[in-house]
Amino acid sequence: MDIASMSIAEISGLIDDKPYRGKQIFSWLHNRQVTSFESMTDLPKPLREKLKQSFSIGTDIKKLESVQSADQTTKYLFKLENNTIIESVYMNYRFGGSVCVSTQAGCRMGCIFCASGKGGFERNLMPSEICGQVYAIQHEKAHISHVVLMGCGEPLDNYNNVVKFISLISNENGQGLSRRAITVSTCGLVPQITKLADEMLPITLAVSLHAPNDSVREYLVPVAKAYPLTELLQACKYYTDKTKRQITFEYAMINGVNDSLSHAIELARRLKGTLSHINLIRLNETEFSGLRASTNETVWRFADSLNNHSIKTTVRRSLGSDINAACGQLRNRQR
Ligand code: SAH
């Protein structure tokens, strides 16, 4: 059993020791972020021995490789239990260190431009394995103030572990990360968006929209066949009504596919009145899709058109493209 995926109450319930031990062990795991029971030096030796016999520590992940780009973005490959390989990215912003974590090894969603699912789906990551990516990188770099769930995998397809991860990493006896500094990105799983709204977490939800209508969206993001745009936008409205938190719509600009001015106008019409903001990003080109990124000029024209239609739009700076930092690219090279 993985003790680093447990809450304080769960640990206390299992170890049958003094009442404060659960909190003490949790704090070793998530505040001091140790990855062995031997390091928990203020626990009695027999207890450390007993813990070692009964539990594993899922935050104990092994770094295989890291590559740093000119802008300090660093891509990591980690090995987890059963030789599962995942990747994470460190980004250095003015406001502090940010980590982009994976939530699954592989992915089931099959978006045509994305490298994450190309090798198929392997498994869900445990809450501790998501925490472990942040801790390992923090250990090597600097204090991490922001976490984005935008690495490999679909966070809402690993719903329970992702919600548990948020509660572990934000716990004041651990990392104590502000939930406002956490962004969860989804390709648009409607039932889970509704469920997440009901959790009332003050996190940021990002929705990978990538298209102004169902036919373009179905081509790029196959899951759109199950959840048409009207339903998706209704779920987003439910989310913003409930949480009062603005949604970020992500939109990868792909040459000749979703980047015309009529697409911009169609998009503006669809999103009018929603509590949201659009983040445009030029497609990160991968060899398998054959798709090309829009030109910078097209991206800015598209952004201007949306802004002129009163849809708040920004263009995302793409970090780390010189080191294959786009979703899933480094992991694929390894396999
Ligand atoms: N499964 C989640 C998180 C995945 S990655 C989701 O779909 O939101 C985070 C973002 O990167 C998503 O918006 C995804 O669509 C986008 N993305 C993936 N591959 C890309 C590429 N090659 N170029 C640009 N954006 C990409």
Position in ligand 1 atom list of the atom nearest CA 293: 23
pLDDT given for residue 131 in this prediction:
98
Q: Which of the residues 87, 129, 154, 250 is marked catalytic?
A: 87
Give pLDDT tens digits for 170-207: 999 999 999 999 999 999 999 999 999 999 999 999 99
Active site residue 87: yes
Active site residue 111: no
Give pLDDT tens digits for 18-46: 889 999 999 999 999 999 999 999 999 99
pLDDT given for residue 73 in this prediction:
93
Give pLDDT tens digits for 242-272: 999 999 999 999 999 999 999 999 999 999 9
Q: Which residues line ligand 1 (CB under 6 A)?
A: 109, 111, 113-114, 150, 154, 185-187, 208, 250, 252, 281, 283-284, 286, 326-327
pLDDT at 16 over 90: no
Q: How far does the centroid of ligand 1 lie from the alpha carbon of residue 38, in Å? A: 40
Beta bridge partners of 247: 276
C-alpha torsion 210→216→217→218, nearest 10: -150
Share of the chain above pLDDT 70, in %: 95
Q: Which of 208, 216, 288, 289 to mutate to test the pocket of ligand 1 (most atoms within 8 A of CB)?
A: 208
> Mean per-residue pLDDT for 42-53?
96
Angle between helices 8-15 and 21-30 (to 10 degrees): 130
pLDDT at 49 over 90: yes
Q: Which tokens in the block code for residue 109? A: 């969603």
Instruction: Collapse the DSSP code of 52 into the 3-class scheme (helix H, G, I; strand E, B; otherwise coil) and give the result.
Output: helix
Instruction: Collapse the DSSP code of 162 into the 3-class scheme (helix H, G, I; strand E, B; otherwise coil) and give the result.
Output: helix
Residue of 71 and 78 predicted with greater confidence = 78
pLDDT given for residue 286 in this prediction:
87
What is the Cα gyration radius of the chain? 21
Residue 275 contacts residue 247 (beta carbons within 8 Å)? yes
pLDDT at 57 over 90: yes
Give pLDDT tens digits for 270-320: 999 999 999 999 999 988 889 999 999 999 999 999 999 999 999 987 666
Residue 250 backbone phi and psi in degrees, to 5? -90, 140
pLDDT given for residue 328 in this prediction:
57
Residue 154 backbone phi and psi in degrees, to 5? -105, 105
pLDDT at 95 over 90: no
Grade residue 119 by pLDDT with cuts at 50, 70 and 90. confident
Grade residue 322 by pLDDT with cuts at 50, 70 and 90. low
pTM above 0.75, yes or no: yes
